[in-house]
Structure 1
Amino acid sequence: MLVVSCAAEFMVVLDASVVNVALPAIQAGLGFDPTGLQWVVTSYALVFAGFLLLGGRLADLYGRRRVFLAGLLVFTAASVAGGLAVSPAMLVISRGVQALGAAVLAPASLTILTTTFTEGPRRVRALAIWTALASAGGAAGSLLGGVLTEYLTWRATLLINLPIGAIALLLAARALTGDRSESRRTPGYGADGGEPTRRLDMPGAVAATVGLVALTFAVSGAHARGWSSSTTLAALAVAVVGLAVFVADEGWWSPTPLVPLRLFRLRAIIVGNVAMLLAGVTLMPMWYFLSLYMQLSLHLSALDTGLGFLPHTLVTVLVGAWLAPRLMARIPARTLLAAGSLLAAAGFWWQSRIAPTDTYLSGVLGPAVVMSVGCGLLNTPLTTLVTSGVAGDDAGAASGLMNSTKQVGGALGLAALLTVGAAATSTGHLEQGDPAELIAAFSTAFAVMALLMTAVAVLAAVLPAPRHQRCDSGTR
Structure 2
Amino acid sequence: MAVLAEQVRVEKALNQAEKKKLIFLICSVLLFSVMNGTMFMIAIPDIALSFSLSPSQVSWVVTGYIVIYAIGALMYGKLADIYPLKRLLTVGLSFFAFGSIFGFFAPNFEGVILARIIQAAGASSIVALVFIVPIRYFPEERGKVLGIVSSTMAFASGVGPVIGGFVAGALNWQYLFLISAFVLLTIPFFWKWMPDEQKNEGKVDILGAAFIALAVAALILFITLFNWWFLLGSILFFGLFTRRIMTHDNPFIRPDVFRNSSFRTTIFSGFLAIMTMFGMMFMLPLMLSEVNGLNTLYIGLTIFPAALTAAFAGNVAGSLSDRWGGKRVVYVAFMLMISGFLLLSTFSGSPAWVIGIVVLTSYIAFPFLQTGTASLISASLPKNEIGVGMGIYNLFNFMAGAFGGAIIGKMLDYDSEILLNPLSQAQGPAIIYSNVFIGLIGLTLVNGCFFYFSLRKKTE
Q: TM-score range by the shorter chain?
A: 0.7 to 0.9
1:92 aligned to 2:83?
Answer: no
Contact 2:154 2:363 in 1 (8 A): no
The residue number in structure 2 matching 1:283 is: 277
Contact 2:273 2:444 in 1 (8 A): yes
Deviations 1:112-169 (A, max 9, x none): 2211122x4x111111111111222211212221222232222222220112x12222
The residue number in structure 1 matching 2:169 is: 150
- CA–CA separation in structure 1 for the residues paired with 2:59 and 2:434: 19
SS of the equivalent of 2:222 reads helix
SS of the equivalent of 2:381 reads coil
Deviations 1:383-418 (A, max 9, x none): 111221322221211121111111111123223332
1:169 aligned to 2:158?
Answer: no
SS of the equivalent of 2:240 reads helix
The alpha carbon displacement at 1:285 in A equals 4.4
The residue number in structure 2 matching 1:251 is: 246
In the alignment, structure 2 segments of 5+ residues that lack a partner are 1-21, 417-426
The residue number in structure 1 matching 2:351 is: 359
Contact 2:144 2:322 in 1 (8 A): no
Contact 1:46 1:411 in 2 (8 A): no
1:103-114 alignment, distance < 5 Å: 103-114=124-135
The alpha carbon displacement at 1:37 in A equals 4.3
Contact 1:147 1:302 in 2 (8 A): no
Contact 1:341 1:375 in 2 (8 A): no
The alpha carbon displacement at 1:465 in A equals 8.6
- CA–CA separation in structure 2 for the residues paired with 1:442 and 1:144: 27
- CA–CA separation in structure 2 for the residues paired with 1:336 and 1:172: 31
C-alpha change, 1:50 and 1:444, in structure 2 (3 Å) is farther
SS of the equivalent of 2:40 reads coil
1:23 aligned to 2:16?
Answer: no
Match of 2:401 among 410, 413, 421: 410
The residue number in structure 2 matching 1:333 is: 326
- CA–CA separation in structure 2 for the residues paired with 1:345 and 1:203: 43
1:50-69 alignment, distance < 5 Å: 50-69=71-90
Match of 1:267 among 244, 261, 264: 261
The residue number in structure 2 matching 1:214 is: 218
1:421 aligned to 2:442?
Answer: no
The residue number in structure 2 matching 1:229 is: none
SS of the equivalent of 2:246 reads helix
**How many residues are treated as equivalent by the alignment?**
429
* TM-score of the pair, normalised by structure 2: 0.83
- CA–CA separation in structure 2 for the residues paired with 1:440 and 1:243: 40
C-alpha change, 1:61 and 1:344, in structure 2 (3 Å) is same
- CA–CA separation in structure 1 for the residues paired with 2:193 and 2:410: 45
Deviations 1:298-349 (A, max 9, x none): 333333222222122121111112x223434554532331232232133234
The residue number in structure 2 matching 1:239 is: 234
Q: CA RMSD in A?
A: 2.9
Pick the structure with more helix per residue: 2
The alpha carbon displacement at 1:424 in A equals 5.0
C-alpha change, 1:173 and 1:444, in structure 2 (3 Å) is farther
C-alpha change, 1:437 and 1:387, in structure 2 (3 Å) is farther
In the alignment, structure 1 segments of 5+ residues that lack a partner are 189-197, 223-231, 426-435, 471-476
Q: Which residue identity does 1:339 align to in structure 2?
A: V
Contact 2:144 2:317 in 1 (8 A): no
- CA–CA separation in structure 1 for the residues paired with 2:72 and 2:243: 17
The residue number in structure 2 matching 1:47 is: 68
The residue number in structure 2 matching 1:431 is: none
- CA–CA separation in structure 1 for the residues paired with 2:347 and 2:61: 27
C-alpha change, 1:395 and 1:409, in structure 2 (3 Å) is same
SS of the equivalent of 1:461 reads helix
1:453 aligned to 2:440?
Answer: no
SS of the equivalent of 2:379 reads coil
Contact 1:424 1:441 in 2 (8 A): yes
Q: Which residue identity does 1:124 align to in structure 2?
A: G
C-alpha change, 1:173 and 1:141, in structure 2 (3 Å) is same
C-alpha change, 1:34 and 1:374, in structure 2 (3 Å) is same
Contact 2:168 2:175 in 1 (8 A): yes
The alpha carbon displacement at 1:361 in A equals 1.8
The residue number in structure 1 matching 2:208 is: 204
C-alpha change, 1:418 and 1:84, in structure 2 (3 Å) is farther
Contact 1:21 1:291 in 2 (8 A): no
SS of the equivalent of 1:260 reads coil
The residue number in structure 1 matching 2:8 is: none
C-alpha change, 1:108 and 1:77, in structure 2 (3 Å) is same
The residue number in structure 2 matching 1:319 is: 313
- CA–CA separation in structure 1 for the residues paired with 2:187 and 2:159: 21
The residue number in structure 1 matching 2:5 is: none
SS of the equivalent of 1:61 reads coil
Deviations 1:200-252 (A, max 9, x none): 23333333333233333334444xxxxxxxxx332221121122222222332
Select between 147-156 and 455-464 the one with higher mean Cα deviation: 455-464
The alpha carbon displacement at 1:270 in A equals 0.5
- CA–CA separation in structure 2 for the residues paired with 1:36 and 1:419: 20
